[in-house]
Amino acid sequence: MIKISSYPYLFSSRYGTPDELKQLIDVAHQNNLYVLLDVVHSHASKNVLDGLNQFDGTNSCFFHDGARGEHSLWDSRLFNYSEYEVLRFLLSNLRWYIEEYNFDGFRFDGVTSMLYHSRGIGEGFSGNYDEYFGLNVDTEAVVYLMLANYMLHELYPDVVTIAEDVSGMPATCRPVKEGGIGFDYRLAMAIPDKWIKLLKEVKDDDWEIGNIVHTLTNRRWMENTVAYAESHDQALVGDKTIAFWLMDKEMYTHMATNSEPSPIIDRGIALHKMIRLVTHALGGEAYLNFIGNEFGHPEWLDFPRAGNNDSYHYARRQWHLVDDGNLKYKYLNAFDEAMNKLEERFGWLHKNPAYVSWKHEDDKVIVFERADLVFIFNFHPTKSFTNYRIGVEIPGTYKVCLNSDDEQFGGFKRVDNNVPHYTYPENFANRQNSLMVSNYHISDIIYLYYIHS
């Protein structure tokens, strides 16, 4: 899936002509890729000469006048969604992108800012329903989003719409006919924020397993979310990538396959794999990778701007890193491929949310079941275990179908993937059956998956 960004009716000529964009979308479709447009209907530039602001000489042609018409943090103008011409302009914009360019759907930017008169500024959104259905809700914007989603899904049944909303407003991802806003998915924005907060502020020895599980599972039933471990704030500008938070300067000296062993690199590679898969399997009904996260890109992508003296130094992705057989980035990329192929095989993203049977703070072990798979993660930095008991619902024989300690993923081959595991009819962890993870250690860089056979 490809995502392209745009304000209404506006593409940057820096990246090519309209016909070249159409060609890009056609080639993507030929390769069975969806192309989504990151559409910004939440606010608009204050530019007067080349924008909508003061289009008729007043402040209120397309926007609210006064304080309601300006976003205090973004220094931009806010649409008046009660005006017929605004609705016609924005809805026509959506149709134009689909019919003229053949986009497959939209990721609506800044939805939280649209939903509330406060624009979401300074609000924590604890989940109290008064936060979602009180006077703070911008009803006109909610109605616009309902109209947009209803129109798109009625006219183009295969369209996909995604809300960038951090607040978690109930029914955001339920159909309009049910009284919902009509989106297909909502971005689980709290998940990448949680990972970065942990990496910045807490040693992995002290990570709270229950808190991690809560963040990954904190979504409403039957409202689809897109889970992701790394956001554009790290992948693009302003922060460090997950890989760089984990391994920092060691990546410049110890990522060669023949370099001397580094516990920082070994642990960082292990946690990078674990963070991605526990997010993929537990965090939602879709999964998002930002460019380079799949192979642990060491640096962000930063566009020339005043803050970096208009430098082009970071305005690129080092794709050659993953293609260099002498570097360890290939291991992370191989794991990403295996992870996604396993999901394609068993389809856990299309199944009910996982059942978490075990989250042990001292052992730092998480166990959950989804799509007839049992996932076992050991986040402990030093502890290994033998004969570790876990609960499972389905009786039978289980076998390893993905193991991060395999050599192809940069592991140490300490696990025999051919050993079968048999269940016992003994209740454990609120499951009907149990099995013993035996014959090897689960160590700090091993996490295993079982499939009922």
pLDDT of residue 303: 78
Residue 96: C-alpha distances to residues 45, 100, 299 (Å): 21, 5, 36
pLDDT of residue 308: 83
pLDDT of residue 351: 95
Tell me the C-alpha distance between 437 and 400, whole Å.
11
Any idea what DSSP says for residue 213?
H
| CATH T-level topology, domain 2-350 | TIM Barrel (3.20.20)
pLDDT of residue 12: 74
- Edge-to-edge order in the sheet of strand 447-452: 355-360, 365-370, 373-378, 447-452, 397-403, 421-422
Give the DSSP H or E segment for 346: helix 329-346
pLDDT of residue 439: 47
Looking at the annotation, which residues are catalytic? 109, 164
Sequence-ordered strand ranges (E) for 47-86: 70-71, 76-77
Per 3-state DSSP, what percentage of the chain is helix, strand, and coil (rounded to 5)?
A: 35, 20, 45
Any idea what DSSP says for residue 428?
B
Supply the pTM of this predicted model.
0.91
pLDDT of residue 278: 95
Sequence-ordered strand ranges (E) for 214-308: 225-227, 286-287
- Tokens read off for 295: 């192979």
**pLDDT 10s digit of each residue in the chain, 453 long?**
555 555 566 677 777 889 999 999 999 999 999 999 999 999 998 988 888 888 888 888 899 999 998 998 898 999 999 999 999 999 999 999 999 999 999 999 999 999 999 998 888 787 778 888 889 999 999 999 999 999 999 999 999 999 999 999 999 999 999 999 999 999 999 999 999 999 999 998 899 999 999 999 999 999 999 999 998 877 776 688 999 999 999 999 999 999 999 999 999 999 999 999 999 999 999 999 988 999 999 987 777 888 888 888 878 888 999 999 999 999 999 999 999 999 999 999 999 999 999 999 999 999 999 998 999 998 988 888 888 999 999 999 998 889 888 899 998 887 778 888 899 999 999 999 999 986 444 444 444 555 554
Please say whether the beta carbons of 403 and 449 come within 8 A.
yes
Indicate the Cα dihedral angle 11, 13, 14, 18, nearest 10°: 80
pLDDT of residue 452: 52
Residue 149: C-alpha distances to residues 157, 170, 187 (Å): 11, 16, 16
Residue 398 exposed, middle or buried by CB count within 10 Å (0-12, 13-18, 19+): buried
By DSSP bridging, strand 373-378 and strand 365-370 are antiparallel
Q: Partners of 282 in the beta sheet? A: none
Q: Indicate the domain borders of the chain.
A: 2-350, 355-452
Please say whether the beta carbons of 246 and 271 come within 8 A.
yes
Residues 355-452, CATH architecture? Sandwich (2.60)
pLDDT of residue 312: 84
Contacts for 21 with CB less than 8 Å, ≥ 6 apart? 4, 11, 15, 101
Please say whether the beta carbons of 92 and 98 come within 8 A.
no
* Closest-CA residue to 187 (of 113, 123, 108): 108
Tell me the C-alpha distance between 142 and 171, whole Å.
11
- Would 2-350 and 355-452 be classified into the same CATH topology? no
pLDDT of residue 412: 84
Please say whether the beta carbons of 236 and 281 come within 8 A.
no
SS (H, E, C) 347-360: CHHHCCCCEEEEEE
Tell me the C-alpha distance between 114 and 349, whole Å.
28
